[in-house]
Amino acid sequence: MTSAKSDKLSDSHRGDMLNLTSLLLATAAFLSAADNDAVLARVAAHADRFGVVSREIWETPELGFHENKSSPLLQQELRANGFQVVAGVAGMPTAFTATFGNGKPVIALMGEFDALPGLSQKDVPMLAPAQAGAPGHGCGHNLLGSASALAAVAIKEEMQAKGLKGTLRYYGTPAEEGGGGKIYMLHAGLFRDVDAVLAWHPGDSNRVNMSSLLANNGGRFRFYGVASHAAAAPDRGRSALDGVMIFLNSVEYLREHVPQETRIHYIITNGGSAPNIVPAFAEANLVARNPDAAVLAGIWERVMDCARAGALASGTRMEFEQGTNYSNVLPNDALTEVLGRAMQKAGGYEYTPGEKTFATELQKTLGGPVRSPGPEKVRTDMSEGTGSASSDSGDVSWVVPTAQFTAATFVPGVSAHTWQAAACAGTSIGRKGMVVAARTLAVAGVELFENPSKVKAAHDAFEKRLDGRKWSTRIAPDSKPPMDYATK
Ligand SMILES: [Zn+2]
Protein backbone atom coordinates (compact mmCIF):
# COMPACT_ATOMS: atom_id res chain seq x y z
CA MET A 1 0.00 0.00 0.00
CA THR A 2 1.28 3.43 -0.85
CA SER A 3 0.52 5.93 1.85
CA ALA A 4 0.27 9.57 0.97
CA LYS A 5 2.57 10.44 3.81
CA SER A 6 5.46 8.31 2.67
CA ASP A 7 5.23 9.70 -0.85
CA LYS A 8 6.67 13.01 0.14
CA LEU A 9 9.76 13.90 2.04
CA SER A 10 9.56 15.89 5.21
CA ASP A 11 9.74 19.66 4.88
CA SER A 12 12.83 19.82 7.04
CA HIS A 13 14.82 18.21 4.25
CA ARG A 14 13.51 20.29 1.38
CA GLY A 15 16.17 22.51 -0.06
CA ASP A 16 18.93 20.17 1.03
CA MET A 17 21.59 19.75 -1.56
CA LEU A 18 20.46 16.51 -3.14
CA ASN A 19 16.76 16.03 -2.97
CA LEU A 20 14.08 13.88 -4.54
CA THR A 21 14.42 15.64 -7.88
CA SER A 22 17.90 14.27 -8.31
CA LEU A 23 16.60 10.85 -7.27
CA LEU A 24 14.10 10.95 -10.12
CA LEU A 25 16.84 12.06 -12.51
CA ALA A 26 18.96 9.16 -11.28
CA THR A 27 16.22 6.67 -11.99
CA ALA A 28 15.60 8.16 -15.42
CA ALA A 29 19.26 7.54 -16.21
CA PHE A 30 18.78 3.87 -15.42
CA LEU A 31 15.62 3.70 -17.49
CA SER A 32 17.31 5.21 -20.50
CA ALA A 33 20.17 2.74 -20.23
CA ALA A 34 18.19 0.84 -22.91
CA ASP A 35 18.57 -2.65 -21.55
CA ASN A 36 15.81 -4.95 -22.53
CA ASP A 37 16.17 -7.35 -19.66
CA ALA A 38 12.72 -7.70 -18.15
CA VAL A 39 13.78 -7.92 -14.51
CA LEU A 40 15.90 -4.78 -14.79
CA ALA A 41 12.90 -2.94 -16.21
CA ARG A 42 10.91 -4.17 -13.22
CA VAL A 43 13.56 -2.80 -10.85
CA ALA A 44 13.42 0.52 -12.68
CA ALA A 45 9.64 0.62 -12.40
CA HIS A 46 9.77 0.40 -8.60
CA ALA A 47 13.05 2.26 -8.00
CA ASP A 48 11.48 5.65 -7.29
CA ARG A 49 9.16 4.23 -4.69
CA PHE A 50 11.91 2.38 -2.84
CA GLY A 51 14.13 5.43 -3.14
CA VAL A 52 11.46 7.30 -1.18
CA VAL A 53 11.26 4.43 1.32
CA SER A 54 15.03 4.51 1.83
CA ARG A 55 14.92 8.26 2.36
CA GLU A 56 12.08 7.97 4.86
CA ILE A 57 14.03 5.37 6.87
CA TRP A 58 17.08 7.66 6.64
CA GLU A 59 15.03 10.54 8.06
CA THR A 60 13.87 8.46 11.04
CA PRO A 61 17.03 6.60 12.10
CA GLU A 62 16.24 3.95 14.71
CA LEU A 63 18.60 1.90 16.86
CA GLY A 64 18.78 -1.89 16.78
CA PHE A 65 15.64 -3.75 17.98
CA HIS A 66 13.83 -0.40 18.03
CA GLU A 67 13.20 -0.08 14.29
CA ASN A 68 9.54 0.59 15.05
CA LYS A 69 8.89 2.70 11.96
CA SER A 70 11.51 1.35 9.54
CA SER A 71 10.54 -2.31 9.85
CA PRO A 72 6.76 -1.78 9.43
CA LEU A 73 7.39 0.50 6.45
CA LEU A 74 9.31 -2.24 4.62
CA GLN A 75 6.71 -4.81 5.68
CA GLN A 76 3.95 -2.61 4.29
CA GLU A 77 5.70 -2.21 0.94
CA LEU A 78 6.28 -5.95 0.59
CA ARG A 79 2.73 -6.79 1.65
CA ALA A 80 1.36 -4.31 -0.88
CA ASN A 81 3.39 -6.11 -3.53
CA GLY A 82 1.91 -9.52 -2.76
CA PHE A 83 4.28 -10.93 -0.14
CA GLN A 84 3.00 -12.81 2.87
CA VAL A 85 4.47 -11.03 5.87
CA VAL A 86 5.03 -12.63 9.27
CA ALA A 87 6.07 -9.95 11.74
CA GLY A 88 7.60 -10.22 15.19
CA VAL A 89 9.42 -13.50 14.51
CA ALA A 90 12.05 -15.10 16.79
CA GLY A 91 10.95 -13.02 19.77
CA MET A 92 11.88 -9.70 18.15
CA PRO A 93 9.06 -7.22 17.42
CA THR A 94 10.89 -5.68 14.44
CA ALA A 95 12.05 -8.97 12.85
CA PHE A 96 9.96 -10.31 9.98
CA THR A 97 9.84 -12.59 6.99
CA ALA A 98 8.07 -11.77 3.73
CA THR A 99 7.44 -14.73 1.45
CA PHE A 100 6.20 -15.22 -2.09
CA GLY A 101 5.54 -18.57 -3.79
CA ASN A 102 6.11 -22.04 -2.43
CA GLY A 103 8.23 -25.13 -2.81
CA LYS A 104 11.85 -25.42 -3.89
CA PRO A 105 14.16 -23.73 -4.41
CA VAL A 106 13.98 -21.26 -1.52
CA ILE A 107 15.99 -18.15 -2.40
CA ALA A 108 16.40 -15.46 0.24
CA LEU A 109 17.33 -11.79 0.31
CA MET A 110 18.48 -10.00 3.43
CA GLY A 111 17.22 -6.66 4.73
CA GLU A 112 18.74 -4.59 7.54
CA PHE A 113 17.39 -1.21 8.67
CA ASP A 114 19.01 -0.24 12.00
CA ALA A 115 20.97 2.98 12.56
CA LEU A 116 24.02 3.85 14.67
CA PRO A 117 24.08 5.95 17.85
CA GLY A 118 25.35 9.53 17.63
CA LEU A 119 25.74 9.67 13.83
CA SER A 120 22.81 11.96 13.07
CA GLN A 121 23.67 13.88 9.91
CA LYS A 122 22.05 15.98 7.20
CA ASP A 123 22.62 15.21 3.51
CA VAL A 124 25.31 17.87 3.18
CA PRO A 125 29.10 17.46 2.69
CA MET A 126 30.06 18.96 6.05
CA LEU A 127 29.52 17.76 9.63
CA ALA A 128 25.94 18.84 10.39
CA PRO A 129 23.86 16.65 12.67
CA ALA A 130 20.14 16.69 11.89
CA GLN A 131 19.69 16.34 15.65
CA ALA A 132 22.72 16.50 17.94
CA GLY A 133 23.49 13.19 19.63
CA ALA A 134 20.73 11.33 17.80
CA PRO A 135 21.23 8.15 15.78
CA GLY A 136 22.08 8.25 12.07
CA HIS A 137 22.37 5.88 9.13
CA GLY A 138 26.17 5.77 9.09
CA CYS A 139 26.13 2.23 7.71
CA GLY A 140 23.52 2.91 5.02
CA HIS A 141 21.10 0.29 6.30
CA ASN A 142 18.24 2.51 5.10
CA LEU A 143 19.49 1.59 1.63
CA LEU A 144 20.30 -2.02 2.52
CA GLY A 145 16.77 -2.97 3.52
CA SER A 146 15.19 -0.95 0.71
CA ALA A 147 17.38 -2.32 -2.11
CA SER A 148 16.70 -5.92 -1.08
CA ALA A 149 12.97 -5.19 -0.92
CA LEU A 150 13.11 -3.52 -4.35
CA ALA A 151 14.89 -6.57 -5.76
CA ALA A 152 12.37 -8.89 -4.08
CA VAL A 153 9.45 -7.13 -5.77
CA ALA A 154 11.16 -7.27 -9.19
CA ILE A 155 12.07 -10.97 -8.83
CA LYS A 156 8.54 -11.80 -7.70
CA GLU A 157 7.04 -10.11 -10.74
CA GLU A 158 9.48 -11.96 -13.00
CA MET A 159 8.59 -15.27 -11.33
CA GLN A 160 4.92 -14.58 -12.04
CA ALA A 161 5.55 -13.52 -15.62
CA LYS A 162 7.69 -16.55 -16.41
CA GLY A 163 5.87 -19.04 -14.19
CA LEU A 164 9.07 -19.76 -12.23
CA LYS A 165 8.65 -22.27 -9.42
CA GLY A 166 9.96 -21.82 -5.91
CA THR A 167 9.89 -19.63 -2.84
CA LEU A 168 11.29 -16.12 -2.60
CA ARG A 169 11.81 -14.83 0.92
CA TYR A 170 12.91 -11.48 2.33
CA TYR A 171 14.35 -11.55 5.85
CA GLY A 172 13.82 -8.35 7.82
CA THR A 173 16.70 -8.63 10.27
CA PRO A 174 16.98 -6.12 13.14
CA ALA A 175 19.98 -4.94 15.09
CA GLU A 176 22.87 -5.83 12.79
CA GLU A 177 25.00 -3.11 14.41
CA GLY A 178 24.99 -5.02 17.69
CA GLY A 179 22.58 -7.49 19.15
CA GLY A 180 22.54 -9.70 16.06
CA GLY A 181 18.93 -10.27 15.03
CA LYS A 182 19.93 -12.89 12.46
CA ILE A 183 21.41 -15.16 15.14
CA TYR A 184 18.07 -15.38 16.94
CA MET A 185 16.35 -16.01 13.60
CA LEU A 186 18.86 -18.81 12.95
CA HIS A 187 18.22 -20.27 16.40
CA ALA A 188 14.45 -20.11 15.70
CA GLY A 189 15.03 -22.25 12.59
CA LEU A 190 13.79 -19.56 10.21
CA PHE A 191 16.56 -20.25 7.68
CA ARG A 192 16.13 -24.03 7.81
CA ASP A 193 14.56 -24.46 4.35
CA VAL A 194 16.67 -21.86 2.53
CA ASP A 195 18.84 -22.95 -0.42
CA ALA A 196 20.71 -19.70 -1.04
CA VAL A 197 21.00 -16.24 0.46
CA LEU A 198 21.91 -13.24 -1.68
CA ALA A 199 23.08 -10.30 0.41
CA TRP A 200 24.77 -6.97 -0.08
CA HIS A 201 26.14 -4.11 1.97
CA PRO A 202 26.57 -0.40 1.29
CA GLY A 203 30.17 0.59 0.56
CA ASP A 204 32.28 2.93 -1.55
CA SER A 205 32.63 0.60 -4.54
CA ASN A 206 30.55 -1.64 -6.77
CA ARG A 207 32.35 -4.84 -5.96
CA VAL A 208 31.69 -8.56 -6.13
CA ASN A 209 34.39 -10.90 -4.89
CA MET A 210 34.93 -13.67 -2.35
CA SER A 211 35.77 -11.31 0.48
CA SER A 212 34.93 -12.47 3.98
CA LEU A 213 34.29 -10.41 7.12
CA LEU A 214 35.95 -10.62 10.53
CA ALA A 215 34.56 -12.82 13.27
CA ASN A 216 33.97 -10.78 16.38
CA ASN A 217 33.16 -11.27 20.02
CA GLY A 218 32.45 -8.75 22.72
CA GLY A 219 30.70 -7.89 25.90
CA ARG A 220 30.65 -5.89 29.08
CA PHE A 221 33.18 -6.42 31.85
CA ARG A 222 31.78 -5.24 35.16
CA PHE A 223 34.06 -4.75 38.15
CA TYR A 224 32.70 -4.55 41.70
CA GLY A 225 34.87 -3.05 44.45
CA VAL A 226 34.37 -1.31 47.79
CA ALA A 227 33.60 2.42 48.04
CA SER A 228 35.52 4.54 50.48
CA HIS A 229 36.70 8.13 51.03
CA ALA A 230 39.49 8.52 48.47
CA ALA A 231 41.58 10.75 50.79
CA ALA A 232 40.48 9.87 54.33
CA ALA A 233 40.29 6.07 54.04
CA PRO A 234 41.66 4.80 50.70
CA ASP A 235 43.03 1.72 52.46
CA ARG A 236 39.48 0.58 53.14
CA GLY A 237 38.44 0.92 49.50
CA ARG A 238 38.91 -1.48 46.60
CA SER A 239 38.74 0.39 43.30
CA ALA A 240 36.63 -1.12 40.55
CA LEU A 241 38.23 1.40 38.19
CA ASP A 242 41.67 -0.02 39.09
CA GLY A 243 40.29 -3.38 37.99
CA VAL A 244 39.22 -1.93 34.63
CA MET A 245 42.55 -0.10 34.18
CA ILE A 246 44.66 -3.19 34.90
CA PHE A 247 42.41 -5.25 32.63
CA LEU A 248 42.71 -2.85 29.72
CA ASN A 249 46.46 -2.28 30.22
CA SER A 250 46.91 -6.04 30.14
CA VAL A 251 44.98 -6.07 26.87
CA GLU A 252 47.44 -3.49 25.51
CA TYR A 253 50.32 -5.86 26.29
CA LEU A 254 48.35 -8.75 24.82
CA ARG A 255 47.91 -6.80 21.57
CA GLU A 256 51.58 -7.38 20.67
CA HIS A 257 51.25 -11.15 20.95
CA VAL A 258 48.21 -11.98 18.88
CA PRO A 259 48.08 -12.50 15.09
CA GLN A 260 48.64 -9.26 13.18
CA GLU A 261 45.15 -9.10 11.66
CA THR A 262 43.45 -9.15 15.08
CA ARG A 263 41.53 -6.06 16.19
CA ILE A 264 40.74 -5.24 19.82
CA HIS A 265 38.82 -2.11 20.79
CA TYR A 266 37.06 -0.93 23.92
CA ILE A 267 35.41 1.91 25.73
CA ILE A 268 35.03 2.56 29.46
CA THR A 269 31.30 2.90 29.97
CA ASN A 270 31.51 3.62 33.69
CA GLY A 271 34.61 4.81 35.55
CA GLY A 272 33.07 5.76 38.88
CA SER A 273 31.05 8.72 40.01
CA ALA A 274 33.52 11.18 41.62
CA PRO A 275 37.30 11.30 42.09
CA ASN A 276 36.96 11.62 45.88
CA ILE A 277 35.12 8.30 46.11
CA VAL A 278 36.93 5.01 45.52
CA PRO A 279 34.77 3.59 42.69
CA ALA A 280 32.70 0.63 43.85
CA PHE A 281 31.64 -0.02 40.25
CA ALA A 282 33.29 0.34 36.87
CA GLU A 283 32.59 -1.16 33.48
CA ALA A 284 34.34 -1.62 30.13
CA ASN A 285 32.82 -2.73 26.84
CA LEU A 286 35.32 -4.58 24.65
CA VAL A 287 35.19 -6.17 21.20
CA ALA A 288 37.86 -8.42 19.64
CA ARG A 289 37.98 -9.53 16.00
CA ASN A 290 39.92 -11.93 13.80
CA PRO A 291 39.32 -13.35 10.30
CA ASP A 292 38.90 -16.82 11.81
CA ALA A 293 36.32 -17.58 14.50
CA ALA A 294 38.41 -20.47 15.83
CA VAL A 295 41.52 -18.28 16.21
CA LEU A 296 39.39 -15.60 17.85
CA ALA A 297 38.15 -18.12 20.40
CA GLY A 298 41.75 -18.65 21.59
CA ILE A 299 42.45 -14.91 21.74
CA TRP A 300 39.23 -14.40 23.66
CA GLU A 301 40.36 -16.76 26.44
CA ARG A 302 43.42 -14.54 26.90
CA VAL A 303 41.24 -11.41 26.98
CA MET A 304 39.24 -13.08 29.74
CA ASP A 305 42.52 -13.80 31.59
CA CYS A 306 43.38 -10.09 31.38
CA ALA A 307 40.03 -9.28 32.97
CA ARG A 308 40.56 -11.86 35.71
CA ALA A 309 44.03 -10.38 36.30
CA GLY A 310 42.43 -6.95 36.73
CA ALA A 311 40.07 -8.27 39.36
CA LEU A 312 42.76 -10.25 41.17
CA ALA A 313 45.24 -7.38 41.32
CA SER A 314 42.68 -4.80 42.43
CA GLY A 315 40.90 -7.02 44.93
CA THR A 316 37.62 -6.59 43.08
CA ARG A 317 35.13 -8.97 41.56
CA MET A 318 34.58 -9.20 37.79
CA GLU A 319 31.45 -10.27 35.95
CA PHE A 320 31.23 -10.70 32.20
CA GLU A 321 28.06 -10.22 30.19
CA GLN A 322 28.17 -11.73 26.71
CA GLY A 323 27.53 -9.20 23.97
CA THR A 324 27.66 -9.51 20.21
CA ASN A 325 29.32 -12.59 18.74
CA TYR A 326 29.45 -12.79 14.93
CA SER A 327 31.08 -15.45 12.78
CA ASN A 328 33.38 -14.65 9.90
CA VAL A 329 31.76 -14.95 6.47
CA LEU A 330 32.11 -18.25 4.67
CA PRO A 331 32.29 -17.21 1.01
CA ASN A 332 30.42 -19.21 -1.62
CA ASP A 333 32.23 -19.69 -4.92
CA ALA A 334 29.18 -20.61 -7.02
CA LEU A 335 26.97 -17.78 -5.73
CA THR A 336 29.80 -15.25 -6.08
CA GLU A 337 30.08 -16.22 -9.73
CA VAL A 338 26.34 -15.67 -10.20
CA LEU A 339 26.53 -12.29 -8.42
CA GLY A 340 29.60 -11.24 -10.43
CA ARG A 341 27.84 -11.82 -13.73
CA ALA A 342 24.73 -10.14 -12.37
CA MET A 343 26.65 -7.01 -11.38
CA GLN A 344 28.30 -6.83 -14.78
CA LYS A 345 24.82 -6.83 -16.25
CA ALA A 346 23.56 -4.36 -13.64
CA GLY A 347 26.34 -1.90 -14.43
CA GLY A 348 27.53 1.06 -12.38
CA TYR A 349 26.41 4.68 -12.55
CA GLU A 350 27.69 8.17 -13.19
CA TYR A 351 27.58 11.25 -11.01
CA THR A 352 25.60 14.29 -12.08
CA PRO A 353 27.51 17.61 -11.83
CA GLY A 354 25.77 18.26 -8.49
CA GLU A 355 26.78 14.86 -7.16
CA LYS A 356 30.34 15.41 -8.32
CA THR A 357 30.47 18.67 -6.36
CA PHE A 358 29.04 16.93 -3.30
CA ALA A 359 31.61 14.12 -3.64
CA THR A 360 34.54 16.51 -4.02
CA GLU A 361 33.46 18.57 -1.02
CA LEU A 362 32.94 15.46 1.09
CA GLN A 363 36.31 13.99 0.13
CA LYS A 364 38.02 17.17 1.38
CA THR A 365 36.82 16.27 4.88
CA LEU A 366 38.48 12.83 4.76
CA GLY A 367 42.13 13.88 4.78
CA GLY A 368 44.69 11.70 3.07
CA PRO A 369 45.35 11.51 -0.66
CA VAL A 370 42.99 13.16 -3.16
CA ARG A 371 40.72 10.58 -4.70
CA SER A 372 38.74 10.40 -7.88
CA PRO A 373 35.39 12.06 -7.16
CA GLY A 374 33.53 9.68 -9.48
CA PRO A 375 31.99 6.40 -8.39
CA GLU A 376 34.22 3.38 -8.94
CA LYS A 377 33.49 1.20 -11.92
CA VAL A 378 31.96 -2.22 -11.40
CA ARG A 379 34.64 -4.69 -10.36
CA THR A 380 33.91 -8.39 -10.18
CA ASP A 381 36.33 -11.26 -9.66
CA MET A 382 36.86 -14.30 -7.48
CA SER A 383 39.62 -12.83 -5.29
CA GLU A 384 39.56 -13.68 -1.61
CA GLY A 385 40.30 -11.42 1.33
CA THR A 386 38.77 -10.16 4.53
CA GLY A 387 36.83 -6.94 4.89
CA SER A 388 37.55 -5.07 8.09
CA ALA A 389 34.05 -5.24 9.56
CA SER A 390 31.81 -7.91 11.08
CA SER A 391 28.21 -8.87 10.50
CA ASP A 392 25.66 -11.40 11.66
CA SER A 393 25.30 -12.32 7.99
CA GLY A 394 28.53 -14.21 8.75
CA ASP A 395 26.53 -16.53 10.98
CA VAL A 396 23.96 -17.08 8.23
CA SER A 397 26.79 -18.00 5.84
CA TRP A 398 27.74 -20.94 8.08
CA VAL A 399 24.20 -22.36 7.94
CA VAL A 400 23.02 -21.55 4.40
CA PRO A 401 24.98 -20.95 1.16
CA THR A 402 25.41 -17.17 1.22
CA ALA A 403 27.19 -14.60 -0.91
CA GLN A 404 27.33 -10.87 -0.52
CA PHE A 405 28.70 -7.86 -2.33
CA THR A 406 29.01 -4.12 -1.91
CA ALA A 407 27.46 -1.35 -3.96
CA ALA A 408 28.80 2.21 -4.14
CA THR A 409 26.36 4.07 -1.93
CA PHE A 410 29.19 6.11 -0.40
CA VAL A 411 31.58 8.48 -2.13
CA PRO A 412 34.97 6.75 -2.79
CA GLY A 413 37.15 6.88 0.33
CA VAL A 414 34.22 7.15 2.76
CA SER A 415 34.13 4.34 5.28
CA ALA A 416 31.04 3.11 7.05
CA HIS A 417 30.21 4.29 10.60
CA THR A 418 31.08 7.92 9.85
CA TRP A 419 29.01 11.09 9.44
CA GLN A 420 30.21 11.18 5.84
CA ALA A 421 28.59 7.77 5.22
CA ALA A 422 25.40 8.93 6.93
CA ALA A 423 25.34 11.99 4.66
CA CYS A 424 25.78 9.89 1.49
CA ALA A 425 23.06 7.44 2.57
CA GLY A 426 20.48 10.23 2.36
CA THR A 427 21.47 11.49 -1.09
CA SER A 428 20.87 10.46 -4.69
CA ILE A 429 24.40 8.95 -4.63
CA GLY A 430 23.23 6.53 -1.95
CA ARG A 431 20.08 5.80 -3.91
CA LYS A 432 22.03 5.15 -7.12
CA GLY A 433 24.16 2.62 -5.24
CA MET A 434 20.95 1.16 -3.86
CA VAL A 435 19.63 0.64 -7.39
CA VAL A 436 22.91 -1.02 -8.47
CA ALA A 437 22.46 -3.40 -5.53
CA ALA A 438 18.82 -4.11 -6.39
CA ARG A 439 19.63 -4.69 -10.07
CA THR A 440 22.43 -7.10 -9.13
CA LEU A 441 20.24 -9.00 -6.65
CA ALA A 442 17.35 -9.16 -9.11
CA VAL A 443 19.40 -10.57 -12.01
CA ALA A 444 21.11 -13.08 -9.69
CA GLY A 445 17.83 -14.10 -8.03
CA VAL A 446 16.10 -14.79 -11.35
CA GLU A 447 19.11 -16.79 -12.53
CA LEU A 448 18.86 -19.05 -9.46
CA PHE A 449 15.13 -19.64 -9.97
CA GLU A 450 15.71 -20.43 -13.64
CA ASN A 451 18.68 -22.76 -13.10
CA PRO A 452 18.35 -25.50 -10.47
CA SER A 453 21.93 -26.53 -11.32
CA LYS A 454 23.19 -23.19 -9.94
CA VAL A 455 21.39 -23.83 -6.66
CA LYS A 456 22.97 -27.28 -6.49
CA ALA A 457 26.39 -25.76 -7.26
CA ALA A 458 25.89 -23.28 -4.41
CA HIS A 459 25.13 -26.16 -2.06
CA ASP A 460 28.22 -28.10 -3.18
CA ALA A 461 30.45 -25.04 -2.80
CA PHE A 462 29.01 -24.51 0.69
CA GLU A 463 29.79 -28.09 1.79
CA LYS A 464 33.30 -27.79 0.40
CA ARG A 465 34.04 -24.56 2.29
CA LEU A 466 32.45 -25.91 5.45
CA ASP A 467 34.73 -28.93 5.24
CA GLY A 468 32.90 -30.78 8.00
CA ARG A 469 32.87 -27.80 10.38
CA LYS A 470 29.69 -26.56 12.01
CA TRP A 471 28.37 -23.10 12.88
CA SER A 472 29.04 -22.27 16.50
CA THR A 473 28.06 -19.21 18.50
CA ARG A 474 28.37 -18.04 22.08
CA ILE A 475 24.77 -16.85 21.90
CA ALA A 476 22.86 -19.67 23.58
CA PRO A 477 19.96 -21.11 21.53
CA ASP A 478 17.47 -20.40 24.32
CA SER A 479 18.70 -16.89 25.13
CA LYS A 480 16.43 -13.88 24.64
CA PRO A 481 17.39 -11.13 22.20
CA PRO A 482 19.08 -8.27 24.14
CA MET A 483 16.38 -5.72 23.37
CA ASP A 484 18.19 -2.92 25.23
CA TYR A 485 21.52 -3.64 23.55
CA ALA A 486 21.73 -0.40 21.58
CA THR A 487 20.18 1.86 24.18
CA LYS A 488 21.75 0.89 27.52
ZN1 LIG B 1 26.22 -2.34 8.20
pLDDT along the chain (488 residues), means of 10: 35 41 47 61 97 98 98 98 98 98 98 97 97 97 98 98 97 95 97 98 95 93 98 97 98 98 97 97 97 95 98 98 93 97 95 94 87 79 87 96 96 95 98 98 97 97 96 94 84
Question: Ligand 1 mean position to 420 CA, how many Å?
Answer: 14
Question: Ligand 1 mean position to 413 CA, how many Å?
Answer: 16
Question: Ligand 1 mean position to 425 CA, how many Å?
Answer: 12
Question: Ligand 1 mean position to 437 CA, how many Å?
Answer: 14
Question: Ligand 1 mean position to 141 CA, how many Å?
Answer: 6
Question: Ligand 1 mean position to 390 CA, how many Å?
Answer: 8
Question: Ligand 1 mean position to 234 CA, how many Å?
Answer: 46
Question: Ligand 1 mean position to 310 CA, how many Å?
Answer: 33
**Residue 376: predicted pLDDT:** 67
**Residue 361: predicted pLDDT:** 94
Question: Ligand 1 mean position to 438 CA, how many Å?
Answer: 16
Question: Ligand 1 mean position to 215 CA, how many Å?
Answer: 14
Question: Ligand 1 mean position to 318 CA, how many Å?
Answer: 32
Question: Ligand 1 mean position to 201 CA, how many Å?
Answer: 6
Question: Ligand 1 mean position to 139 CA, how many Å?
Answer: 5
**Residue 219: predicted pLDDT:** 96
Question: Ligand 1 mean position to 190 CA, how many Å?
Answer: 21
Total-model pTM:
0.88
Question: Ligand 1 mean position to 144 CA, how many Å?
Answer: 8
Question: Ligand 1 mean position to 224 CA, how many Å?
Answer: 34
Question: Ligand 1 mean position to 417 CA, how many Å?
Answer: 8
SS (H, E, C) the chain: CCCHHHHCCCHHHCCCCCCHHHHHHHHHHHHCCCCCCHHHHHHHHHHHHHHHHHHHHHHCCCCCCCCCCHHHHHHHHHHHCCCEEEECHHHCCCCEEEEEEECCCEEEEEECCCCECCCCCCCCCCCCCCCCCCCECCCCHHHHHHHHHHHHHHHHHHHHHHCCCEEEEEEECCCCCCCCHHHHHHHCCCCCCCCEEEEEEEECCCEECCCEECEEEEEEEEEECECCECCCCHHHCECHHHHHHHHHHHHHHHHCCCCCCCEEEEEEEECCCCCCECCCEEEEEEEEEECCHHHHHHHHHHHHHHHHHHHHHHCCEEEEEEEEEECCCCCCHHHHHHHHHHHHHHCCCCCCHHHHHHHHHHHHCCCCCCCCCCCCCCEECCCCCEECCCCCHHHHHCCCCEEEEEEECCCCCCCCCCHHHHHHHCCHHHHHHHHHHHHHHHHHHHHHHHCHHHHHHHHHHHHHHHCCCCCCCCCCCCCCCCCCCCCC
Question: Ligand 1 mean position to 63 CA, how many Å?
Answer: 12
Question: Ligand 1 mean position to 116 CA, how many Å?
Answer: 9
Question: Ligand 1 mean position to 147 CA, how many Å?
Answer: 14
**Domains of the chain, CATH where assigned:** 4-212+328-466 (3.40.630.10), 215-326 (3.30.70.360)
Question: Ligand 1 mean position to 52 CA, how many Å?
Answer: 20
